[in-house]
Amino acid sequence: MSASQNTITALLSGTDQPGLVAKMSGWIFERGGNIIHADQHRDMEAEIFFQRIEWTPAEPQDDFQAEVDAFQEFTSGLNMKVDCKLSSKKSRVAVFVSRYDHCLHELILGQRSGELSCEIDCVISNHPDMAEAAEQYGVPFIHVSVTPDTKNQAEKQQLEILKDRNIDVVVMARYMQILSPEFLQAFGKPVINIHHSFLPAFAGGKPYHQAHQRGVKLIGATAHYATAVLDDGPIIQQDVERVSHRHTVEDLVVRGRMLERRVLAQALRWHLENRVLVYGRKTVVFD
């Protein structure tokens, strides 16, 4: 495939039935398309079929959206849910951050290197600390102060910013505020959070302190979609590192930050590439 060629990536899910793989590939073949990648999974207990399929429509193709619309109509006849993404359309990302900068740097450098196919449109923070870092990268920085008394107003301001800037995805890069259920519902688009523990263990505040108190032998980081329930959203990616009784809380924090930046960047990359399919409280990740 030429680097300049556009592709369509579809994520599908629905009740399993015979011949689904053949029907999907047959539809693309009959229209002269070329399949670049295809993968599928079947939940044996729930009898649900999942598939990720990426293809290049027949050339010349001036209107890829017409191909997407036709495919969605075809799959609806099979009672399949489908989410399609064009490779030519880069998601607009807003990064929410507080005072820790390690994840912010990882995301911006990943975007600059081409590892993260997106446009990091702005950095939004409840503290002014990251203004200089954002300025050095040439990314607009927006300070929205948040206090217990002003939280509702602050979230309304954040929502207005996201709407005005046409943001597709919010990434909480160690943003040390809880986004309210009302915010998540009003935004209505994916919010990816990094939690500094191996969920569901040590949810909530100070997980490294909790881990140290329990004398764990593994620490972890978890990237997940934010939901109304704190640290309970569908998990996208996790990783761990072995520790021992010799490590202090400060040691855990330093080691954990390496995990956090790597896990969050990988989760965002999979999301941007339309590899994450959410169902219920779980995800299928076509990695």
Exposure class string for 125-159: b at 16+ Cβ within 10 A, else e: bbeeebeebbeebebebeebebeeeebeebbebbb
Give the span between the Cα atoms of 175 and 167, in whole angstroms. 17
Give the span between the Cα atoms of 108 and 96, in whole angstroms. 13
Q: Tokens 């923070």 appear where?
A: 125
E strands present in the chain: 8-15, 34-43, 48-56, 81-86, 91-97, 118-125, 141-143, 169-172, 191-195, 218-225, 235-242, 276-279, 282-285
Per annotation, catalytic residue among 63, 129, 231, 287: 231
Give the span between the Cα atoms of 262 and 287, in whole angstroms. 15
Is 231 a catalytic site residue? yes
Give catalytic residue positions. Answer: 231
